[in-house]
A = this chain, B = another copy of it.
Amino acid sequence: MHIDHLPTPALLLDEARLRRNIARLDERLRALGVNLRPHCKTCKSMDAARLCMASPQGPITVSSLAEAEYFAEHGVTDICYAVGVAPAKLARGMILRERGVRLSLLLDSTENARLLAAFAGKHGHVFDLLLEIDCDGHRSGLRPDDPELLECAAVLTRAGQNLLGVLTHAGSAYDLAAPSPEAFAALAKQERDAAVSAAQRLRAAGHGCPVVSVGSTPTAFFGRDFTGVSEVRAGVYMFQDLVMAGLGVCRVEDIALSVLCTVIGRRKSDGNLVVDAGWTALSRDAGLPGRFAREGYGLVCDVDGKLLPGLRVAETNQEHGIIAAREGMCPPLPVGAQLRILPTHACAAAAAFDAYHVCREREVTALWPRCRGW
């Protein structure tokens, strides 16, 4: 089947680029001697996960219990749920663990540790747990020197729970004012130092702490030394997107994901093209600050994936995208012509679809389903 026959909008995944992106990070981390725990929140696909897992059983990272359940159904048994666990989700986590999945859960407060300890005590269950460390003030977690870190650990171990170690994420990598290899290397060091020093404090207090988990796609690609780190997490690296290209983490031609759409009209006033991919297909993610005027909600390629320079998705309605040229006019493409849009944010564009059409050039070679929900 050729992509010309796909109903649009459709989500295309270029298999050659996907494999190259996966190989690139694999080779880098192998050379640095550190394991990868791919974050499957981006792909949400067992078929894609198979290409990046070290073994058919994992390890992987997920961002929701629905993902954990989906991957577990497909035989993955080593799963880190890397979002602070809500107490009401513990029962589902326990069920997965009782089915033989080594699911690790995350928390970052004594309050949550006590709630978890109470639940675990009531049900006679031992969870595998990670304490979340804040390495950059971006989101959540405890600072490595916070007294609460040892309190949390003490609550958990007193309750007979299995404290595996610590986890941190340099989420500020996406917001760096002046991104550069040096800036990402410095941030990767900060990320590593935070996790390693937290683990050292826990070990000094008598906790084993074998897991020291760090990662973001930029710090995974630019970190120079992962000494003391047991695993690196990264997700968007397998698809890449305009945010990553804007940060210098990849080239635009590495982006494996695109949204296939069809021209449905041309505006007479400005020659802009109207396509059938709106925000339902592209998301409203506006990408990196300051780049919207260049990249809009996505850059535009022809049906073969060749970039059409100077074009971008300037506006989106629910089912309409408006393609504008930065200078001059859009090419006068006919109604019915297909285009591919490179997404600003691969995770968000992919989330709009239930499956990938995997392709080699114009040939569709497979349909890979995605999981969804929470």
Contacts and interface: CB of A to CB of B under 8 A. Distances in A.
Interface stretch (A18-26, A78-86, A182-190, A199-207): A78-86
Contacts of A7: 88-89, 92, 374
Nearest to A354: B373
A171 interface: yes
Contact of A88 (B63, B112, B336, B351): B336
A137 interface: yes
Contacts of A268: 142-143, 146
Contacts of A317: 139, 171
Interface in A138-180: 139-140, 142-143, 146, 171
Contacts of A230: none
A171 B267 CA distance: 15
Q: Which of A86, A140, A280, A286 has the most chain B CB within a 10 Å cutoff?
A: A86
A84 B274 contact: yes
A64 interface: yes
Nearest to A262: B86
Contact of A320 (B87, B89, B140, B353): B140
A140 B322 CA distance: 9
Interface in A266-298: 266-269, 274, 276, 279-281, 283-286
A83 B276 contact: yes
Contact of A265 (B89, B109, B345): B109
A227 interface: no
Contacts of A9: 374
A3 B153 CA distance: 32
Given A274-B139, A320-B140, A85 B264 contact: yes
A319 interface: yes
A302 interface: no
Nearest to A111: B335
A314 to B, nearest CB: 12
Q: Among A87, A266, A319, which residue has the most Cβ atoms of chain B within 10 A? A: A319
A9 B146 CA distance: 30
Contacts of A115: 335-336
A372 interface: yes
A155 B136 CA distance: 63
A15 interface: no
Contact of A264 (B83, B281, B336): B83
B139 A320 contact: yes
Contacts of A322: 139
A254 interface: no
Interface string A341-370: 000010110011110000000000000000
A44 to B, nearest CB: 10
A163 to B, nearest CB: 18
A191 interface: no
A335 to B, nearest CB: 5
Contacts of A283: 283-284
A306 B140 CA distance: 27
Given A83-B264, A84-B276, A140-B320, 5 more contacts: A83-B319, A86-B262, A112-B264, A284-B345, A353-B373
20 contacts: A7-B92, A8-B86, A9-B374, A41-B318, A41-B319, A63-B319, A84-B264, A84-B274, A86-B263, A86-B264, A86-B336, A87-B336, A88-B262, A111-B334, A112-B265, A139-B274, A279-B348, A284-B286, A286-B286, A318-B347
- 6 residue pairs, one from A and one from B, having the closest CB atoms: A84-B264, A86-B262, A87-B336, A284-B284, A63-B319, A284-B285
